[in-house]
Amino acid sequence: MPAVRFLPDEEVVDAADGATLLEAALGAGIPATHACGGDARCSTCRVLVVEGRDALSPVEAAERRLLAPLGLDRPIRLACQARVGGDVTVRRLVLDPEDAALLDQRRDGALVAKVGEERRVAILFADLRNFTAFSERVLPYDVVHVLNRFFAIASSVVEAHRGRIVTYLGDGFMALFGIAPRGGGLMPDMGTVLSGLSLHLEAPIDAVRAGLEIIERVDEFQAYLERLHGAGFGISVGVHVGDVVVGEMGAGESRAVTAIGDAVNTAARVEWANRVHGTRMLVSEDVRSAVERYFEMEAHPAIELPGKSGTHALWEVREAVA
């Protein structure tokens, strides 16, 4: 009889030839979640196939419909549909009711999108300078209003350059470029963003152009700030390009698209380095090599970045080449 090893339970089960993974698990007392009763109407019985992918039955239409948003190229199967024809090792991905509620594809507003996917994107970090000093002399409601004005400006610029702000960080934000369909205009809903992830060649160029325009727009915003509040603030921008995992994070109404990975940390450190070099916009060497024909840039001495090994050469972006 085929042997099925279930992780993280570390249970090895003898399954009848042709039995589903779900039947094998439940028969052995393994608490495999199956919210729809095992009828391929949810994805809560999903498993990751660690070994023996070819020992399972092919993906049929009902299973394909639910797996498509998760990425058909990944070794994920529905335990209620995958039938055993040989030895296989699988890892259960939904372990308790909280997992089931989070991952059930039937939930309202479920994204038609991959649940986390590694992509190469351009990452822009922006942070306001001297904002603490500004906020200390302005009423709290006015601080919120000014921040929202700034974020509205930044969002319009980022979206005009085919990017999306995905994380707000106090008085700063992170934006991703290379996750939007080409053609510009308003960004699609999050499901479309994720299902259409792709890095087009212009993503680093879009990010740098957006950074320059954000700086320009913040400069123009100073007249408004000075007139109403008698004070203003500056901004610094950092851009890096690299591989990240892009996916919908969080639960309930707070779910949002974001990116996780070392490239995100690097982009944040590139923005931070503006304080060292006395600049307003820096890019990494990876960005420079992709965009150098389109912008006037100046090299700065390599420095150590917090939390990163070695030294890093950064480039100051001055303006776009006419």
Calculate the alpha carbon distances from 202 to 49, 181, 205, 245 in Å.
36, 12, 5, 20
Reduce the DSSP state of residue 9 to 3 states and report it. Answer: coil
Calculate the alpha carbon distances from 216 to 190, 202, 281 in Å.
28, 21, 11
**Residues 89, 131: one domain?**
no
**Residue 238 falls in which region: left (phi positive, over 0), alpha (psi -120 to 50) or beta:** beta
Range of the domain at 89: 3-103
**Residues 259, 284: one domain?**
yes
- The pLDDT, as a whole number, for residue 75 is 87
> What CATH number has the domain bearing residue 224?
3.30.70.1230
| DSSP letter for each residue of 113-167 | S-SSEEEEEEEEEEEEESHHHHHHTS-HHHHHHHHHHHHHHHHHHHHHTTEEEEE
> What CATH number has the domain bearing residue 40?
3.10.20.30
Which of 73, 103, 133 is at the close of a domain? Answer: 103
Residue 281 lies in a domain: yes
**Residues 197, 273: one domain?**
yes
Q: What is the DSSP letter of 20?
A: B
What's the pTM?
A: 0.66
* Tens place of pLDDT per residue across the chain (322 aa): 899 999 989 999 999 999 999 999 999 999 888 878 888 887 788 898 999 999 999 999 989 888 876 665 678 899 999 999 999 999 998 776 656 555 544 444 433 344 456 788 999 999 999 999 999 888 787 888 899 999 999 999 999 999 999 999 999 999 999 885 444 333 444 444 444 444 457 899 999 999 999 999 999 999 888 888 888 999 999 999 999 888 777 766 677 778 889 999 999 999 999 999 999 999 999 999 999 999 999 999 999 999 888 899 999 999 998 7
CA gap 179, 163 in Å, rounded: 7
Number of domains into which the chain is organized: 2
**Residues 97, 142: one domain?**
no
